């Protein structure tokens, strides 16, 4: 039975849709338009991707202009509103509800652009290499050769590591094919001392924030990141982009007994910033 406080929120003019998680779908708690249910599903997907990184989220609040998308693990509830909601009253109204969380999930890799899929594939190839392997990357008209052994790689003399990702991503954006093939090991090869994630654009030495463009392509990656970190962060960036629908946004979380903390934002420059260093996160191990 809904409390009076919760009914007041659900019946208010700003509450466009109220839903409860049922399995992997959302069940409406009040009549709503199909567009609002679709929005709630995108909020559920965002919540699930965030849960794969930040493990102890009590409440997620996504803001685009005055509109809010709110997801509460107490009651498994999602609200889509056209204006502000009293979060304190909402939390109090749901405090005795059972905890319900969406299944943690990553975005489908097919959602990624061709360039970032190819870059991810190259990083994984290098990570999984044990024996000495020469790898040829054909990115449109550009051919790149790398040498890998035991999860590390090297580049020929004169080759720049930042050019590898740039050529792959540019080829994908231009609609050109990107292929990876193994080649015979040469008589001489460079030293294998580069980690595969160094193919991704690095943030500052002490940075713990991630920056993505609106297509989920990394623009800055913490130096301590692993490939698993990068996959989770990229998936979250994709969900943020889908949920944000091209608008500036801010996504915050609350945990039990804590104040609101921002975990992601996007400004007018279309760059998505993700920060998890202040949370109980599966990323950035100390």
How far apart (Å, rounded) are the C-alpha atoms in residues 68 and 77?
13
3-class DSSP assignment, residue 145: strand
pLDDT at 283: 67
Beta bridge pairs of residue 251: 62, 264
Contact (Cβ atoms closer than 8 angstroms) between residue 212 and residue 274: yes
| Residue 87, CA atoms < 13 Å, CB-side half-sphere | 20
| Burial 196-220, CB ≥16 within 10 A → b, else e | bbbbbebbeeebbebbbbbbbbbeb
Identify which of 203, 178, 205 has the alpha carbon closest to the alpha carbon of residue 274.
Answer: 203
Q: What angle do CA 113, 116, 121 make, to 5 degrees?
A: 120
pLDDT digits (tens, 9 = 90+) for 4-38: 888 888 888 899 999 999 988 999 998 889 999 99
Q: Is 232 exposed, middle or buried (0-12, 13-18, 19+ CB in 10 A)?
A: buried
- pLDDT: which is higher, 274 or 227: 274
DSSP H or E stretch at residue 133: strand 133-139
In this prediction, residue 255 has a pLDDT band, given cuts at 50, 70 and 90, of confident
| Residue 56, CA atoms < 13 Å, CB-side half-sphere | 10
pLDDT at 83: 94
Contact (Cβ atoms closer than 8 angstroms) between residue 83 and residue 66: yes
Query: Residue 193: CB partners within 8 Å, gap ≥ 6?
Result: 152, 154
pLDDT at 76: 94
pLDDT digits (tens, 9 = 90+) for 32-73: 899 999 999 999 999 988 888 887 788 999 999 899 999 999
Contact (Cβ atoms closer than 8 angstroms) between residue 30 and residue 255: no
How far apart (Å, rounded) are the C-alpha atoms in residues 47 and 128?
31
Q: In what order do the strands lie in the sheet with 142-149?
A: 152-154, 142-149, 133-139, 178-183
Contact (Cβ atoms closer than 8 angstroms) between residue 195 and residue 229: no
Residue whose structure tokens are 């990141």: 225
pLDDT digits (tens, 9 = 90+) for 87-130: 989 998 998 899 898 886 665 565 667 788 888 889 889 989 99
Per DSSP, the residues of 49-89 read: HHHTTBTT-SEEEEEETTEEEEEETBTTEEEEESS---HHH
């Amino acid at each position: 039975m809904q409390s009076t406080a919760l009914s007041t929120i659900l019946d208010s003019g700003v509450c466009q849709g109220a839903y409860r998680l049922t399995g992997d779908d959302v069940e409406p708690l009040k009549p709503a338009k199909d567009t609002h249910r679709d929005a709630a599903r995108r909020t559920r997907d965002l919540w699930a991707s965030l849960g794969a990184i930040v493990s102890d989220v009590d409440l997620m609040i996504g803001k685009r202009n005055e509109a809010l998308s709110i997801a509460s693990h107490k009651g498994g509830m999602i609200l889509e509103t056209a204006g502000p909601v009293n979060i304190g009253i909402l939390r109090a109204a749901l405090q005795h509800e059972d905890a319900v969380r969406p299944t943690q999930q990553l975005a489908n890799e097919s959602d990624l652009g061709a360039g970032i899929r190819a870059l991810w594939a190259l990083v994984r190839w290098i990570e999984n290499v044990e024996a000495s392997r020469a790898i040829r990357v054909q990115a449109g008209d550009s051919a790149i050769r790398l040498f890998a052994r035991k999860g590390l790689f090297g580049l020929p003399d004169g080759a720049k590591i930042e050019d590898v990702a740039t050529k792959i991503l540019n080829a994908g954006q231009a609609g050109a094919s990107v292929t990876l093939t193994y080649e015979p090991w040469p008589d001489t090869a460079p030293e294998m001392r580069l980690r595969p994630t160094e193919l991704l654009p690095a943030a500052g030495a002490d940075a713990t924030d991630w920056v993505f463009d609106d297509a989920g392509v990394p623009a800055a990656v913490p130096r301590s990141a692993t490939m698993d970190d990068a996959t989770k962060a990229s998936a979250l960036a994709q969900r943020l982009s889908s949920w944000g629908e091209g608008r500036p946004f801010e996504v915050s979380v609350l945990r039990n007994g804590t104040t609101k903390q921002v975990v992601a934002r996007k400004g007018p420059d279309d760059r998505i910033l993700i920060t998890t260093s202040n949370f109980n996160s599966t990323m950035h191990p100390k």
